[in-house]
Amino acid sequence: MDTASPPHAFPPEWRRGLYQAILKRRDMRHFLPDPVPDDALARVLSAAHHAGSVGFMQPWNFLLVRDRATREKVHAHVTEERLRAAEKFEPARRGKYLSFKLEGILEAPLNLCVTCDPARFGPAVIGRNTIRETDLFSTCCAVQNLWLAARAEGLGCGWVSILKPESLRRLLGIPEPVYPLAYLCLGFVESFPEKPTFETEGWLPRLGLKDLVYDGAWGRAPEPAFTDLLKDVQLI
């Protein structure tokens, strides 16, 4: 990593910490029963709340789900949807899919639902007229902030996506038109894997950055010198 510090750049050790959080972040499914300390949770939520949002709309809310009975209902719904999703895969991949542990709803000491309120601050919000989904995009930025902050605190975070938003809305009493965007499991873990599970298991390959960057027009590769940098770039 280049340790030069141009104007307004963080000191090298700060940059290394940031890139460490990005590279070491994992979607976690196994959790220890230890409770999440309130002060750490407050910092993580504050990090999420400081995400960028289009037009400063701040469309998010954070619903803490601690009640065991509620989590059991969410878990039952996810289990049902997981089995339904398995039918979409070819038989050769169906068994592999079903072998994955895809949530830690009951094991994690805390569940958290991040919602998006599309009506916050009314219809006239900067940037929303042309791209209506900017509220959803902004809430995703909050989720990413939360995830990175959790990793920095030594907390694992797992996004449970095998569920129907309308069912989650009903189970958690979320009013219309608020949208339950992310259901997260949060807690300490035994360890973080070196690589994402789906990469290690060969479910999908990691794409090369050099194949994803175009220059000036779709499909146009950058200059060879920059392409070489993309092949070998090191964050830490």
Ranges 17-31, 122-136, 171-185: which has the least confidence: 122-136
Contact (Cβ atoms closer than 8 angstroms) between residue 175 and residue 109? no
| C-alpha to C-alpha distance for 50 and 66, rounded to whole angstroms | 24
The single-letter code of the amino acid at 101 is K
Burial of 150 (0-12, 13-18, 19+ CB in 10 A): buried
Angle at which helix 134-152 crosses helix 38-49, to 10 degrees, equals 150
Architecture of domain 12-196: 3-Layer(aba) Sandwich (3.40)
- Nearest CA to 111 out of 44, 62, 66 is that of 66
Give residue-wise pLDDT tens across range 99-128. 999 999 999 999 999 999 999 999 899 988
> Are the C-beta atoms of residues 134 and 117 closer than 8 Å to each other?
no
Q: What is the DSSP string of 175-221?
A: PTT-EEEEEEEEEE-S---SS-HHHHTTSSPPPPGGGT--SSSTTPP
What tokens were used for 166? 């309308």
Residue 73 contacts residue 167 (beta carbons within 8 Å): no
Domain map (residue ranges) of the chain = 12-196, 206-236
Q: What was the pLDDT predicted at 236?
A: 86
**For residues 134 and 116, what is the distance between their CA atoms, to the nearest angstrom?**
10
Query: What is the C-alpha end-to-end distance of the chain, expressed in Å?
Result: 6
What's the rounded Cα separation, in Å, for the pair 211 and 208?
A: 6
What is the DSSP track for 57-104? ---EEEEEE--HHHHHHHHHHHHHHHHHHHTTS-HHHHHHHHHS----
Residue range 171-214, pLDDT digits in tens: 999 999 999 999 999 999 999 999 999 999 999 999 999 999 99
**Reported confidence tier of residue 158, pLDDT bands at 50, 70, 90:** very high
- Tell me the pLDDT of the chain averaged across its residues: 95
SS3 145: helix
